[in-house]
Each structure stands twice: as structure tokens, then as C-alpha cells.
Amino acid sequence: MQSPTASSPGQTGAQPESGSAEVFVARQPILDRQQRIAAYELLFRDQASAGYAAIDSPSMATARVAIDTCMTMGTSAVLGDRLGFVNADYEMLASEAIEALPADQIVIEVLEGVPHWARDRCVELQRAGFRLALDDYVPGDSRDSMLKAADFVKVDLVLTPPDELESLVGYLRQSGAKLVAEKVETREEFQRCLDLGFDLFQGYYFAKPLTLAARRQDPEHAALFQAFRALSADTELGELENCFKRNARLGIQLLRLANSAGVGARQRITTLRHAIMYLGRVQLRRWVLLMLYAGGEAGRGVEALAEIAAVRGRLLELLLSSAETESGDHVAKECAFLAGMLSLADALLGRDLAEVMTELKIDRVIREAVLERRGPIARLLEIVECLEHGRFHVLAERLAEAGITTEQLAGAQSEAYTWIRSVYQGTGPTIHSG
């Protein structure tokens, strides 16, 4: 993982060609049995949609916008090396346009109600390299004849009666397809689906805070809290250096960060003091927060949640520069970034959110935005949350209120996705945020 920094808005990320429609995408994570991100379901809309209508209903428009997204943002920015599930009805299946999507990464979700001839078309698409999923499969489904051709079968927990779930899973297992549990909203539901043998899990159960029991804080965790407070308080350089010296592993990680390719130091940095001075307090504070999240307990969706939190932070930082009501100065943008990152701290750290903010000595502006949902940053946070969950109709209203255009949002989202990929893959373009 590299420095949580980025270049100035507009300097990185795929930009749309002149005249192309601006698009945005709701990217919902799908986790594996170890609760690592295995794929995303993609929901699309574009600014050409009448009345900001969401294009999350399957149609030819979905195919067009999906293709535009891959062209505009770049498949690597949106998906990385993961799979992307895209809804398709009979019209989209029949169209040759669907074949313009990257077959090696796209899973075509065949919706209920497709005609029988669709099976032959699905076989053609599989031969072209696409994977197929049957969406919202229920007992007695009309697509039963397509089961053996499916790579994935998605089971909606809301549509499936709880007392029929076990028998349905047993039946579907015979097909050899991987089973995806949809709308998994509680950890109890996740555990039951895990026990039943589901392979993948979709839903925001992992974003729900655990029961707030006292969590054991290991020495590195405590050192990170101390380092964050010291960085926020303009502590004297020598004391700041000691924060990293007290934990050998943390000090080594800091030196690795300072000497990484993404940072771009011209000469090797060999001391903690030099590393701190070179990276700067603002960027170090971001890195420390990411390290806090990365140190979370494995097996409870930490990877997915940490990625969502980081994208929130970067999006808020970029959107603040676009909002008409804000000057976009460096202090305000840093507050926006931290607000996004900290908005999921309770779920990531398993602790009360107000308690975490108190321990980290978080600025009042950030506390108001995250805890009380007041102020301009809170309004931008709502925009980002609407985007995450595909609430496109509400999103349109909030964008208008904030004075942010669809073009600005699309560009910010593209840059945020590119940025988070560079952070975790060590290809960060620059250490400095703009």
C-alpha cells in the first residue's frame, strides 16, 4: 500500500473524450468467503438520461453507458483486477453492443423473464469469453434450463423465504455454479449463508459496526493513534520521530513508504526524521489513518470497507473544490478527506465513532460533518453515499443544492477510483494532494 495522496484534480485518471457523455457508476462490492473483495456489481447512469433517471434498469441504455464507462474511466480504474457484474435483459443480450465490453472481466447477469432463445445467445457470449450469472434465482425459476450454463447464480435473501433457502442451495449446488447471496444486510445473515455454502456475498452487512465491546489494542495500533494525534497537534519533530521509533515495524513501514516508487524521492531516505520531513505532516496523517484501518481484524470485510472509506475521502476532497459554497483551500480539503475516511471508523475499528474522534483529537468541523451531519462537508458526504448506493434520483437533487455539475462528479469519481488503485498497488502518481 502506498501513500494516500494524489495529484491536483484533473491531473490523473481517465478523462472523457471531447463530446462524450459524462457517466457515473454505483460500484457495490461482492465479497468472497474470506470477506475480501472478489467483484463489484455495477449500476450506471449518465447525464443524458431524461430527468436524471437511473439506468439501473436493464436496457440498451445500460449497454451503452457500461461501454462509455469502460472507455471513459477505464476498466482498470473501475474494476482493478476484479470482475464486474452487469445486468442484462433480452434486449441487451440480443445486441452486438454488449460484445464491446471487456469479456475477461464482465459477468453478464441474466435477469428473470428472458425468453428461451436467450440460452443460445448466452452460450455464444460464453464462447466470446464472458461469464454468465442468473440473477434473483428463486424456487421454480423459469431459467432452470440455463442452470448448467451459468457460472454464477445469485440468490436474493429478501425474495427467498428463509425456510426454503437451504433446500434451494442444495438444488443449485448440483449445477456447479458459484452461488452469490444478495442483500446480505446483517452479520447473522452472512454467517448463515456462509454455513450453507455460498461462495460470494453482496450487501452492506460488513459496514455495520460490530457490538461495541472493548477491542484489544495492540502496541502498533496504540502507536498509530499516538502518531495521528502528534501529527495533528504540530508536535515538535523530535517527539514525532519518537512516535515511530517506539514501534520498530511502524518505523520500517514509514521508511518503505518514503522510498517507494509512488513517492518518487530522488535519493534514498534512510532516517525516520528525513522521511517525516520529506512526506509532510498532512500526507503522513492520511497514511497513518489508512494503516489504522489496514490493521483491522481479518475476515470481517475490512478490505472492502477500508477501500470505500478511502474513496469517500478522496471524493469529498475533490468535490469540495467543485462546490460553489467553498473556496477549496488546503485546510478545508484536508478536513473533507478526513471526514470521508472517518465516516466509517466505527465499523472499521469496532469502536464508538465519537470515542474514536475524541481519542484522535479530530477537528470540530469534521466532528460536526460526520457525527451531526451538519455543514457543507456533511452535504457532500451525503452525495457520496447516494453515489455508493445508486440512489441517483436523490443524488441529482443534492448535486444541484451543492452547485456541483454532473461533469465534475464524473471526473472526481474517475480520479478517485484511479487514485485508490494507485494507493494499494504502489503506482501512486505523486505524494502531494492538490
Split at pLDDT 50, 70, 90, the class of 329 is confident
Q: In terms of pLDDT, which residue wins out, 262 or 175?
A: 175
Residue 25's DSSP bridge partners are 44
pLDDT at residue number 72: 67
What are the two backbone dihedrals, phi and then psi, of residue 391, each rounded to the nearest 5 degrees?
-90, 75
CA distances from 21 to 41, 62, 147, 407 (A): 21, 13, 37, 9
Query: Does pLDDT of 301 surpass 80?
Result: no
Mean pLDDT, rounded, for 103-131: 89
**DSSP H or E stretch at residue 110:** strand 106-110
Query: Does pLDDT of 431 surpass 50?
Result: no
All 3 cell numbers of residue 272? 525516520
Q: pLDDT per residue over 3-51, tens digit each?
A: 444 433 333 233 333 334 456 778 899 999 999 999 999 887 644 343 3
Q: How many CB atoms lie within 10 A of CB 113?
A: 11
* Spatial distance between the Cα atoms of 410 and 23, rounded to a whole number of angstroms: 6
Could you tell me if 316 and 377 are in contact, meaning their C-beta atoms sit under 8 angstroms apart?
Answer: yes
pLDDT at residue number 303: 83
How much is the CA Rg of the chain, to the nearest whole Å? 23
Query: Does pLDDT of 313 surpass 90?
Result: yes
Mean pLDDT, rounded, for 129-152: 91
| Residue percentage of the chain with pLDDT more than 90 | 39
All 3 cell numbers of residue 215? 477491542
pLDDT at residue number 263: 61
* Spatial distance between the Cα atoms of 173 and 291, rounded to a whole number of angstroms: 39
Residue 114's DSSP bridge partners are none
The residue type at 345:
A
Residue 16: Cβ-neighbour burial (10 angstroms; 0-12, 13-18, 19+): middle
pLDDT at residue number 59: 52
Lowest mean pLDDT among 47-56, 186-195, 278-287, 291-300: 47-56
Q: pLDDT per residue over 75-110, tens digit each?
A: 777 888 899 999 887 788 888 888 888 899 999 999
Cβ-Cβ contacts under 8 Å for 20 (sequence gap 6 or more): 68, 71, 72
Interior CA angle at 391 toward 422 and 104, to 5°?
45
pLDDT at residue number 99: 87
**Residue that has been written with the C-alpha cell 428463509 in this structure:** 162
Split at pLDDT 50, 70, 90, the class of 112 is confident
pLDDT at residue number 23: 64
Q: In terms of pLDDT, which residue wins out, 193 or 9?
A: 193
Split at pLDDT 50, 70, 90, the class of 212 is very low
Beta-sheet strands, E only, within 20-91? 23-31, 37-46, 83-88
Cβ-Cβ contacts under 8 Å for 259 (sequence gap 6 or more): 265, 268, 269
Lowest mean pLDDT among 124-138, 206-220, 291-305: 206-220
What are the two backbone dihedrals, phi and then psi, of residue 177, each rounded to the nearest 5 degrees?
-75, 155
Query: Does pLDDT of 215 surpass 70?
Result: no
pLDDT at residue number 390: 85
Mean pLDDT, rounded, for 366-394: 94
Question: Residue ranges of the alpha helices (H) in 343-402?
Answer: 345-349, 353-359, 364-367, 376-389, 392-402
Query: Does pLDDT of 254 surpass 70?
Result: yes
Cβ-Cβ contacts under 8 Å for 31 (sequence gap 6 or more): 37, 38, 200, 201, 202, 206, 301, 304
The residue type at 368:
E
pLDDT at residue number 406: 87
Split at pLDDT 50, 70, 90, the class of 54 is very low
Split at pLDDT 50, 70, 90, the class of 265 is low
Mean pLDDT, rounded, for 233-262: 83
**Residue that has been written with the C-alpha cell 470521508 in this structure:** 340
Q: pLDDT per residue over 356-368, tens digit each?
A: 999 999 999 999 9
Query: Does pLDDT of 347 surpass 70?
Result: yes
* Spatial distance between the Cα atoms of 65 and 58, rounded to a whole number of angstroms: 11
Query: Does pLDDT of 341 surpass 90?
Result: yes
Split at pLDDT 50, 70, 90, the class of 158 is very high
Query: Does pLDDT of 189 surpass 50?
Result: yes
Task: Please state whether 136 falls in left (phi above 0), alpha (psi between -120 and 50) or beta.
Answer: left
Residue 107's DSSP bridge partners are 85, 131
CA distances from 337 to 321, 330, 344, 410, 428 (A): 12, 10, 13, 18, 17
Task: Please state whether 113 falls in left (phi above 0), alpha (psi between -120 and 50) or beta.
Answer: left
CA distances from 246 to 219, 277, 408 (A): 9, 18, 44
Residue 316: Cβ-neighbour burial (10 angstroms; 0-12, 13-18, 19+): buried
Mean pLDDT, rounded, for 327-352: 87
Lowest mean pLDDT among 94-103, 296-305, 384-393: 296-305
**Residue that has been written with the C-alpha cell 465534475 in this structure:** 408
User: How confident is the prediction for the chain on average, in pLDDT?
Assistant: 81
At residue 28, the 3 state secondary structure works out as strand
CATH 1.10.3210.10 fits 219-299+301-425, yes or no: yes
